[in-house]
Amino acid sequence: MYHTFSFSAFNTTVAGTIDCGEHVDTQKATQLEQDIEAHAYAFEKICSRFDPASELSQLHASGAGTHTVSPILFALLQSLVFHYQQDCSTVYWGRYGVGEFING
């Protein structure tokens, strides 16, 4: 049995399906759905490049120098630096689908 859900975040529709095994516990499935949605909104609030109030936008606007960032943004930036430093065969998911970083 499955529990499906969808909500709007990141300027798109986020949809998911929860595999509930043989019996759907509606209360648990709904709670998990709400948790997923809350985490998505929290991530969007921190990392949106379209919202001038987001932490990422404020960091970008603050210019050069040393800045304190949240653990979530720090982990994201670490991951971006790591993947940027990989060779040109590094596969990534971009706005237009799967591609490769090309070092120039």
Same domain, 60 and 89: no
* pLDDT tens readout for residues 63-77: 878 888 898 888 888
* pLDDT tens readout for residues 9-49: 888 899 999 888 888 788 888 899 999 999 999 888 998 88
Same domain, 35 and 23: yes
Same domain, 89 and 62: no
Closest CA to 32 of 22, 20, 46: 20
Q: Show Cβ contacts of residue 53 under 8 Å, excluding neighbours closer than 6 positions.
A: none
Q: How far apart are CA 33 and CA 18, in angstroms?
A: 8
Same domain, 49 and 18: yes
Domain tally for the chain?
A: 2
Percent of the chain exceeding pLDDT 70 equals: 82
Same domain, 56 and 80: no
Q: How far apart are CA 25 and CA 82, in angstroms?
A: 40
Same domain, 25 and 59: yes
Range of the domain at 101: 69-104
Tell me, yes or no, if the pTM score tops 0.95: no
Same domain, 42 and 16: yes
Same domain, 54 and 13: yes
Same domain, 46 and 77: no
Beta strands in the chain (DSSP E): 2-9, 12-19, 91-94, 97-100
Closest CA to 45 of 95, 9, 94: 9
